Amino acid sequence: MKIGIVGLPYVGKTSLFNALTQSEAETGTYAAKKGWNIGSVKVPDERLAALAGIFNPKKVTPTSIDYVDVPGVAKGDIAREGLEASVIAELREVDALAHIVRVFEDDAVPHVDGDVDPKRDSETIDIELAFADLGIIDNRLDRLSRELRTQKIPALEHERVVLERCKDTLEGGTAIRELPLSPEDERAIRGYGFLTQKPLLLILNIGEAELDSAEARRASFAEYAQTRQIEIITLSASLEMEIARLDAEDAEIFRAEMGLNASAPARVIEASYRTLELITFFTIVSDQLQAWTLKNGMTALDAAAAIHTDMARGFIRAETIHWADLVDCGGLTKARDDGLLRLEGKDYTVSDGDVLTIRFNV
């Protein structure tokens, strides 16, 4: 899973990236504007520790999330191609976007549009993302109308109808995310990776001295977020970057002193999971305990495919137990003896926290 961090220039994108991935990428207003940073974070999961407690596995593999930190996008950048095409192409590949909005006041950090105005700024980015999608749609519609003049191809006709709807939606100031699309419609445009179709997290970068205003800030964005179906997180990126440099114990003490409750990276990761509607399942195979992600609603066969295509091809059944039941009874053998392992077929809908043992032959 990959999440792209976007926002205006100098709003704290790289600071947050460093906090999330424990990196030391260059921050500050003179950082190079080219290219992007990619880093990975292991998803903390208490269930893994509990399961490891009964299995003593040789290896424990958590899931991970990749974060991509791209250069800032200023008003008009997309229209005048001020942002490298490779950056946009990279963003088209991500599963979700985290949009950072500057709330912090700091005279030492300039603002591209003169002053700090979180609402205006978040709308600026909405518009830039919409422009990026419209550019692709217009090009494609041109091509399609030429192709469809000479021959009638139903799939292309359908694609044209869906793209026209996307275009109208964007021109009306709404993201493609909010456009109801059937699964067929969805398939017709999936390949374009439209930026405004991606799940979005809104991250308000509150100044370290103003953190007690976080709730009020969040409330001021409640309506904005609700109409756009997005989640809001508040944090201070530069403070989180400092905390990420401390060891776990000092970080805990520091958070307590600052009156910060849950760690911001953990909140961003949790929100990423919710936004993407992901669940976690676990496997225990030859001394290895591993966590995997799956889209909510997916089946045991999808879970098998996530592990290995051979497993999906030769799928027989999935022996299934909820992680807490397994921890309670103390092991898979005991669970099997006690009749706690359920035998599920390929259509079984996997639940968050399931431990699966996939039986298959190849």
Nearest to 9 by CA among 33, 26, 25: 33
Nearest to 16 by CA among 222, 202, 212: 202
Size of site (CB under 6 A) for ligand GTP: 23
Phi/psi class of residue 286: alpha, beta or left (left: φ > 0; alpha: ψ in -120 to 50)?
A: left
Which residue from 6, 15, 185, 260 is in contact with ligand GTP, where contact means CB under 6 A?
Answer: 15
Q: How far is CA 250 from CA 73, 242, 334, 359, in A?
A: 35, 11, 40, 45
72 binding ligand GTP? (CB under 6 A): yes
Query: Would you tell me which residues interact with Mg ion (CB under 5 A)?
Result: 13-14
Residues of this chain, 177-216, that bind ligand GTP according to CB under 6 A: 205, 207-208
Q: How far is CA 298 from CA 46, 154, 302, 349, in A?
A: 23, 30, 6, 6
Contact 90, 70 (CB under 8 A): yes
Q: Interface with ligand GTP by CB under 6 A: which range of 180-188, 232-240, 250-258, 299-307?
A: 232-240
Q: Which does 4 bind (CB under 5 to 8 A by kind): Mg ion, ligand GTP, none?
A: none
d(CA 289, CA 185): 39
Nearest to 220 by CA among 229, 232, 228: 232
Which of residues 13 and 228 has its CB atom nearest to Mg ion in the complex?
Answer: 13
Which of residues 176 and 244 has its CB atom nearest to Mg ion in the complex?
Answer: 244
82 binding ligand GTP? (CB under 6 A): no
11 binding ligand GTP? (CB under 6 A): yes
Q: Which does 237 bind (CB under 5 to 8 A by kind): Mg ion, ligand GTP, none?
A: ligand GTP
Supply the minimum distance, in Å, between the C-beta of residue 22 and Mg ion: 16
d(CA 6, CA 37): 12
H or E element, residue 185: helix 183-189
67 binding ligand GTP? (CB under 6 A): no
Supply the minimum distance, in Å, between the C-beta of residue 239 and ligand GTP: 6
Tokens at 231, concatenated: 């989640």
Q: Interface with ligand GTP by CB under 6 A: which range of 5-13, 211-219, 261-269, 277-285?
A: 5-13
Tokens at 41, concatenated: 């974070």
Residues of this chain, 233-252, that bind ligand GTP according to CB under 6 A: 236-238
Which residue from 3, 6, 9, 160 is in contact with ligand GTP, where contact means CB under 6 A?
Answer: 9
Which residue from 1, 38, 109, 127 is in contact with ligand GTP, where contact means CB under 6 A?
Answer: 109
* CB neighbourhood size of 343 (10 A): 11
Residues of this chain, 29-48, that bind ligand GTP according to CB under 6 A: 29, 31
List of residues contacting ligand GTP (CB under 6 A) = 7, 9-15, 27-29, 31, 71-72, 104, 106, 109, 205, 207-208, 236-238
